[in-house]
Structure 1
């Protein structure tokens, strides 16, 4: 089941450390088959407010997402982000392609 690493980042200070983080992150994802599916982008807010940046990285499964986050390659660059942005980061598993909204009622 696809697993997503979600970053909800606020107050990002675009400077040398963030640039270094962005230049290095792709190499940390490759061994775990991670790929960006959302990385900031223009927002078209339909309800409420959303003043943060949203980042979504897809992995083939939870194990690879966890292994990426725990990898030494990612741990080495993570402080470049955490010193320069405030936010929430979490992993969440996706659903099958045939998922229906009512499927959550049987869980």
Structure 2
């Protein structure tokens, strides 16, 4: 499945209590209508630069609009406090690069715009 956007959670100090377990049991139903699928869920990354003591959650969506619609949906907003009361971290949505992305072309575009 090709994804056009990602919801990323960099979470720390997650308390594995009943509220978090309830959140985990209910989140998939909030993702399904928006085509969201877990790509990484609760993995501890092998940190190579700058220490970071947390877990990673990566959810793929067909596009940025679907990712934002999921996050703002009443169904997700209803369960969101179950996570935010029991963890710290940052959550964001980001568009994926297209198959034709080139870091060289991006660098050249930035350089020419300066």
Given the two structures, how large is their TM-score scaled by the length of structure 1? 0.92
Matched, 1:59 2:64: no
How many residue pairs match? The answer is 107
Deviation string, structure 1 residues 24-80 (Cα, Å, up to 9, x no partner): 000000000000111122432333322111111110001111110110100000000
* Partner of residue 71, structure 1: 73
Structure with more contact order per residue of length (Cα contacts < 8 Å, sep ≥ 6): 1
In 1, distance between residues paired with 2:56 and 2:47?
A: 13
Where do 5+ consecutive residues of structure 1 fail to align? none
Q: 1:18 corresponds to which residue?
A: 20
- Which sections of structure 2, spanning at least 5 residues, go unmatched? none
Q: Which runs of at least 4 in structure 1 moved beyond 4 Å after TM superposition? A: none
Work out whether residues 39 and 60 of structure 2, in 8 Å CA contact, stay in contact via their aligned partners in 1: yes
1:85 maps to 87
Aligned-residue RMSD, C-alpha: 1.4
**Bigger Rg, structure 1 or 2:** 2
